[in-house]
Chain A
Amino acid sequence: MTDDIITIEIDGRTLQARKGQTVIQVADEAGIHIPRFCYHKKLSVAANCRMCLVEMEKAPKPVAACATPVMAGMKIKTRSEQAREAQKGVMEFLLINHPLDCPICDQGGECELQDLALGYGKDVSRFTEAKRVVFDEDIGPLVSTDMTRCIHCTRCVRFGEEIAGLRELGATGRGENMRIGTYVKKAMASELSGNVIDVCPVGALNNKPYRFSARTWELSQHAVISPHDCVGSNFYLHTLRGKVQRAVPRENEAINETWLADRDRFSCHGIYSEQRIAQPQLKERGKWRKVSWDEAIEVTVERLQSVIASRGSETIGALISPSATLEEHYLFQCLLRGIGSSNIDHRLQQCDFSHDETMPVAPWLGMDLNAVENLQAVLIVGGNPRKDQPLLGHRLRKAALRGAAIMYVNHRAYDLNHLAEQYLAATCDDLVIQLAAIAKALMQKTNRAVPDALQGLLEQVEVDEQQKTIAENLHKADRALVLIGSQASLSPLYSYIVALSHCIASLASVSFGTIHIGANATGACLAGALPHRKVAGTADEQPGLSAHKMLQSARRAYLLFNVEPELEAWDTATAHRAMHEAEAIIAISNFASPTMREYADILLPLASFAETDGTYINAEGRWQSFTAAAKIQDDAQPGWKILRLLADRLNVSDLAFNSAAAISKVLREQCRNVVLNNTVANIKLPQHDFSAHNRRLQRIADIPIYSTDAVVRRSLPLQQTIDGMEADKASIHPQTAAEYKLETSEYVSVTQNGNTIEFSLQLNEAIPEGCIWIGLGVPGTEALGPAFGDIEVSAS
């Protein structure tokens, strides 16, 4: 260890440095600031801006601090006359072609060039010739371009290649004609593309939706947690007079490093959608009437009490978003259980609940996020973290770049940004059979026993070379993970997937992880937002109905907490019908779509994720609390306050909390003995005949990246991205298209459960033959049936 430490001197200070570090890294650690543009601690060293020139003793001329490795006894001067002169010279060159448009530039006030020009620039320019002008390209709805301002640091180019894994920007041309761009007209497709806004040291690449809406120095900054996926990225919301203007990442090396997914960055542009509910409203004879909170709560209580009195409390169903806060999950389930109903669930997208009793207390990644990048083998079942949890996908990509074998078993192939093997299963049966074969291959290799429930299935399957390879990869790795992705729960055979994935992980003696949709599924489970479990996983002696069951056997009344069941439920048509047939629908929600206004009876406006205090528990089991960033819109109220008020009026005791923090404190106390653990013991599996072959066309589904929740669905910039625009297309393999005479059609009529909807059709080889892919959570799919199942198509 001591061999690796050397001593160097910077500006007269003696510093310890590790071999292989560069001068700028050591200086940064010691708090000595060296000016720079192209250097970025997360990107490779380009050394092309020359701004970090410093004087090195015994060197004939200044050296670039970012590209000079430390050597024992090295003496660096960052502010000597020679260094200052070199830095000022570079600045003068950089400013030759940089426009003097700071007053109208959105980067003004947070611009690295502007800041450094103050310290290193001259007050008068000696350059009298014409400056170069570069025409801007349209690179999509998220990032604006003002390429005349570009100083060619190439951070954005390196970001694309090294972090996003998708090289979209490049430096074309040479000399004065060099420019950064895409060369051909195209929009950036990366799910991390917004990060080029942050890495750009000047105003060349900026936040397009935020553009011209505020000056940086007018904004106030509030730390929040991502409300969209189980990574729990840390970021700041910037507000102007209480209104959210934009989102920027907050560095947390253990979670999101310095990055932020586009979904987290741009979802805030959905908060102020026209569909936002401004005031409590009641429907009377088909007409909406705005009312006071007092009246709304009074009517809500009356409605619930009349249903309880006439039909019993078990006829009330309650659905809550998996992205609600921990405090909301907790109060929600307390309220429902307090009035005698355990029909509570946050798992709308799931339909197989047969293993509920034996499931772990809460889904857990099985390890810390930063441990993922050091894995040697990963088997992902049912999911594509690149799009589902983009910054988990980033960690996986890092592992892949370090040589890890990444394997996917999915119902479709995904466009990945790293090397991986993708194994496709057309039907849900197929997927289970593939997993069973992997388990069998491992069983044969390790001579270990498998759970009784799986023995019969394993006897039926045959192992092929592919499955042996997967088994071998997992078996030989010291650090490996079997991960059930967040799309797996859509499968009607989810319990088999859980049982087999767990079996594979234990046979191979590797880690086992489960991740769910939404920001707080782990929190929802711990808080007891489940029909069969109360807080901290304690069993409910009178378990209620799961989300799917309570929609299938329609309830008299539903309490909806920031969900749109007609889009988010596994069987959207059934959910839609249940909503329409119920006597009372009480929606506590950010937004009301026209569909919701048709079926709902009471709308209670809910504060958005930016306007409430709360806690999210991420996939690692990390509790992260945040406080409200923005002023509440109009007459909305934070979820915990609404629920507390309802509880009070419904005479549910012990919920008189005065703050979100007080609620999470109580919960923390109740959960103090919970150790997250994914072990599945004595799993019960439903009877299923795997030998039956269904030859009919099957629908397969997943939840597209920008269809995950209500606010994302309403963020216009996200919906205009390539991913956003592809979401509402039906995709089919060209071969299958030919079979159904669809190969030349632009549109397709799809019939499920007797309902027919038209989709624009995309031929896509990523979809297995015999299937058609239609996303879940996509507006326009309300009348369709189950996410997986028989479907009919015809050209239209």
Chain B
Amino acid sequence: MIEKVILDQQTVLPSEVLAKIDKHIAKFPPEHKRSAMIGALTVVQHFNKGYLTVALMDAVADYLDMPEIAVYEVASFYSMFETEEVGENSISVCTNVSCMLRGADAILHHIENRLGIQVGQSTEDGKFYLKQEEECLAACCNAPMMQINHEYYENLTPEKVDEILDQFK
């Protein structure tokens, strides 16, 4: 596991993070380097165990050669970026129409009971964050579903959820 690192403004991002960002940069023409911002922020958020800090966003701005405020704008706009400290593993349970009809509410309650937190909260040990998910996560065919750290887990039952969460112990 990577140690949790809080970078100050002077610190540059570690080379393994930069290598991942470079892969996103390579997808765009060199003069449109800034298009790699969402990819870069995702990499940095995972690296920092689930959330972004101002210092990290500044480092991304510096690396992509753009104004810092432009990074804050993107990070604060998209719901998959966390700009405040949250639990390490982010769980999003879809409760939109298809999932709701297939029992998403029960799945959500099960997770709440198991972790002892409400939607929107993080566990005290900082392991889990149960995110308030507003939108359909686009896996209706295998409803109900949830995302953990932006990975999909589908056709859920309470038992299956327990098995999955056990892996994150």
Contact = CB atoms under 8 A, between A and B. Distances in A.
A700 B141 CA distance: 71
Interface stretch (B70-78, B110-118, B121-129): B70-78
B77 A182 contact: no
B69 A170 contact: yes
A599 B39 CA distance: 66
Contact of B70 (A167, A173, A174, A182): A167
Interface centre among B54, B67, B73 (most CB of A within 10 A): B73
Nearest to A161: B67
Contact of B73 (A168, A170, A184): A170
Contacts of A172: 69, 72-73, 76-77
B72 A183 contact: yes
A182 B72 CA distance: 9
A171 B73 contact: yes
A255 to B, nearest CB: 29
Contacts of B68: 184
Contacts of A171: 73
Contact of B76 (A161, A167, A168, A174): A174
Contacts of B70: 167, 170
A31 B54 CA distance: 47
Interface string B42-76: 00000000000010000000000001111011001
B67 A183 contact: no
B76 A173 contact: yes
Given A183-B76, A184-B72, A167 B67 contact: yes
Interface string A153-194: 000000001000001111111100000001110000000000
Main secondary structure of the interface of B (DSSP, over half): helix
Interface string A435-458: 000000000000000000000000
B65 to A, nearest CB: 12
A184 B68 CA distance: 10
Contacts of A169: 69
A184 B61 CA distance: 14
Contacts of B69: 167-170, 172, 182-183
Contacts of A183: 54, 69, 72-73, 76
B54 A184 contact: yes
Contacts of A173: 76-77
A167 B73 CA distance: 12
Contacts of B67: 161, 167-168, 170
Interface residues of B, number: 9
Interface residues of A, number: 12
B72 A174 contact: no
A168 B77 CA distance: 17
A174 B54 contact: no
Contacts of B77: 172-174
Interface in B69-94: 69-70, 72-73, 76-77
Contacts of A167: 67, 69-70
Contacts of B76: 172-174, 183
Nearest to A178: B77
Contacts of A161: 67
A525 B77 CA distance: 57
Interface centre among A161, A171, A183 (most CB of B within 10 A): A183
A173 B78 CA distance: 8
A94 to B, nearest CB: 21
Nearest to A177: B76
B59 to A, nearest CB: 14
Nearest to B74: A172
A171 B54 CA distance: 16
Nearest to A169: B69
Contacts of A174: 76-77
Interface string A311-342: 00000000000000000000000000000000
A161 B67 CA distance: 9
A182 B77 CA distance: 14
Nearest to B72: A183
B169 to A, nearest CB: 35
A546 to B, nearest CB: 46
A174 B30 CA distance: 29
B55 to A, nearest CB: 10
A182 B70 CA distance: 10
A173 B77 CA distance: 5
A15 to B, nearest CB: 38
A28 B77 CA distance: 35
A668 B77 CA distance: 60
Nearest to A183: B72
A516 B69 CA distance: 36
A161 B73 CA distance: 14
B103 to A, nearest CB: 29
Interface of A: 161, 167-174, 182-184
Interface of B: 54, 67-70, 72-73, 76-77
29 contacts: A167-B67, A167-B69, A167-B70, A168-B67, A168-B69, A169-B69, A170-B67, A170-B69, A170-B70, A170-B72, A171-B73, A172-B69, A172-B72, A172-B73, A172-B76, A172-B77, A173-B76, A173-B77, A174-B76, A174-B77, A182-B69, A183-B54, A183-B69, A183-B72, A183-B73, A183-B76, A184-B54, A184-B68, A184-B72
Given A172-B73, A172-B76, 11 more contacts: A167-B67, A168-B67, A170-B73, A172-B69, A172-B72, A173-B76, A174-B76, A174-B77, A182-B69, A184-B54, A184-B68
Question: Closest 4 CB pairs between A and B?
Answer: A170-B69, A167-B67, A183-B72, A172-B76
